[in-house]
Amino acid sequence: MSNHGPVKEHTHREIMVILGGLMTGMLLAALDQTIVSTALKSIVEDFNGLNHYTWVVTAYLLTSTASTPLYGKISDIYGRRIVFQFAIVTFLIGSFLAGASQNMTELIGFRAIQGLGAGGLMALTFVIIGDIVPPRERGRYQGYFGAVWGLSSVAGPLLGGFFSDHATILGVTGWRWIFYINLPFGVAALAITSAVLHIPKVKRDHKIDYLGALLMVAAVSATLLAVSIYGPERGWGNSTTLTYLFSGIALSVIFLYWESKAQEPILPLSLFKNHTFSLTSALGFIIGAGMFGAIVMLPLYLQVVKGDTATEAGLKLIPFMLGIVSTSIYSGKAITKHGHYKRFPIIGTAVMTVGILLMSTLSATTPFWQLSIYAIMVGAGLGLSMQTIVIALQNAVDFKDMGVATSSNTFFRSLGSVFGTAVFGTILTNRLGNYLAENFKNLATTNPSALAGFDTAKLEGIKNNTAILQTFPPVIKTTALDAFVSSFHVVFYTAAPITAVGFLLALLLRETPLRTNKDYAAAREESAGESLG
């Protein structure tokens, strides 16, 4: 039945070449989460599609998040390489079609196809590293993936701004290049993985849980639509929002019931009995929320309050990236050297929480060097935590569950990022309305002449288009910006307790010795043996 043969240990050089292919694939998926943000303005103007613009981001997040756990399971059955390559090809087809799209509906549909590929790129990267490198050695390699995340969080908005600032490049509309640039990198990732990604395939007798997969995708989609689209757009008490939210909860309950009965479930509920799996899933969710909260809110603060352009705001995220990159690589190497990992998520979540709390002191006059220190702290906290919990998780689960456990962790982090972005965005707009009303009421009392001849109805427009702030008289502009600053403070005050919960969870992590080459080869052989029986 099995064609796995003896387990082959990879040399450092072979691992680095494989890593090149995996990192290229992962960079593409991570970039496309953020690259569209700064180009949306140009796309919307081209297609007259302002009413659908959030869907360009959400369609991608929906399909990439919902498909993540499926890839882990399917790769456990059919082998990693073929499934990873399927993900690359799907991503490339989606990218090409998105670049060629002629209207908003087409673009949203093709972004969903792109997301379907991205889900596999993000999930399987960690799974494949888990296959070829034992946990004790894994830190030194996984640190590089934290660096990829850091790079994409800055390079995405920067490239998006650069392409959309040009009307045409080589005769093609500027913003279309944010999709076309994926093609050469994707082909390179495909070539590298075809040449070097040889992982012994373990053939298993299998049944794919199609109903479970369908229920899970439906539950995630309904919940995310309620949280990230209808809630912020139409209000949380709106009938459409509530319908989607309750449908999502009901489908989740049905999914859990079905999984408890399924012969070969998509997400084995027995994994939640594993203390480390449950803990790292919750930690992943919190880290995702904190990370995206920072990536979305900082550029917004810089563009609105500081008046930076999209490209300048992207450049000013570099300290955040440096924080992630340096501590990801440092913690990875330290884990390989000493074999201890628990301290890193504890320090990471603590530093991140302090950094977010310090961000609640930002004002219209805060100098950039001060913001840089806070951004480095949040980035450093993420870098210490993100990869470490994956190492802890992979060390704690059976080899046969590696794929599904790792992709589930990526899934919970993606879920956290969508919830974080939606919740923080809603808090911002909600508080902004209140503070604007309050500040202008005070201004009318203290300095009525400032409002003479000014049409206060224009203030409503700020929520949709902050560019009109520049047209206001100085006193009115300052009053409006104060409302923005106060709203950002509330967002950071809300984010800090969430990451503080992450700190408490990290304290509960159990540190078990990391498996070495010898233990790992034995576990792999045992897993292959079980699959024959």
Highest mean pLDDT among 175-184, 185-194, 275-284, 398-407: 275-284
Per-residue pLDDT tens over the stretch 311-330? 777 778 788 888 888 888 88
Q: What's the rounded mean pLDDT across residues 225-242?
A: 77
Question: Which pLDDT band holds residue 528 (cuts at 50, 70, 90)?
Answer: low
Architecture of domain 12-208+264-435+484-528: Up-down Bundle (1.20)
Q: Which two tokens stand for residue 99?
A: 């670049």
381 or 417: which leads in pLDDT: 381
Position 315 scores a pLDDT of: 79
Asked if the model's pLDDT at residue 152 lies above 70, the reply is yes
Q: What local confidence, expressed as pLDDT, does residue 373 receive?
A: 93
Pairing, β 168-169 against β 172-173: antiparallel
The stretches of 447-516 forming alpha helices (DSSP H) are 474-508
- pLDDT above 50 for 130: yes
- The whole-angstrom separation of Cα 33 and Cα 63 is 12
Where do runs of H (alpha helix) occur along 101-134?
A: 104-132
Chain position carrying tokens 């047209």: 471
Q: Provide the total of helices (H) and of strands (E) in the chain, helices listed first.
A: 18, 2
Chain center to CA of 434: 30
What is the pLDDT at residue 466? 64
Cα-flanking dihedrals φ and ψ of residue 167, to 5°?
A: -65, -50
- State the pLDDT at residue 1: 37
The DSSP call for residue 228 is I
State the pLDDT at residue 307: 76
pLDDT of residue 526: 55
Q: pLDDT tier at 89 (50, 70, 90 boundaries)?
A: very high
What percent of the chain is predicted at pLDDT more than 90?
A: 8
Q: What are phi and psi of 168, to 5 degrees?
A: -140, 150
Residue 346 to residue 388: CA distance in whole angstroms:
10
pLDDT greater than 60 at residue 533: no
pLDDT at site 167? 67
pLDDT for the residue numbered 6: 43
Q: Are 486 and 362 in contact (CB under 8 A)?
A: no
Instruction: Give yes or no for residue 254 having a pLDDT over 80.
Output: yes
Of the candidates 375, 376, 378, the one whose C-alpha atom is nearest the C-alpha of residue 386 is 378
- Determine the pLDDT at residue 171: 67
- At residue 249, the pLDDT reads 92
pTM of the complete model? 0.76
Query: 277-288 burial string, b = 16+ CB within 10 Å, else e?
Result: bebbbbbbbbbb
Task: For the chain, give the mean pLDDT.
Answer: 78
Instruction: Say yes or no to pLDDT of 176 above 60.
Output: yes
Q: Which two tokens stand for residue 264?
A: 């070969």
Distances, alpha carbon 49 to alpha carbons 43, 65, 107, 245, 246, in Å? 8, 25, 11, 26, 29
Q: What is the pLDDT of residues 474-527, one digit of tens each?
A: 788 888 888 888 888 888 888 888 889 989 998 888 877 776 656 555 655 555
| Spatial distance between the Cα atoms of 522 and 515, rounded to a whole number of angstroms | 10
Res. 406: pLDDT tops 90: no
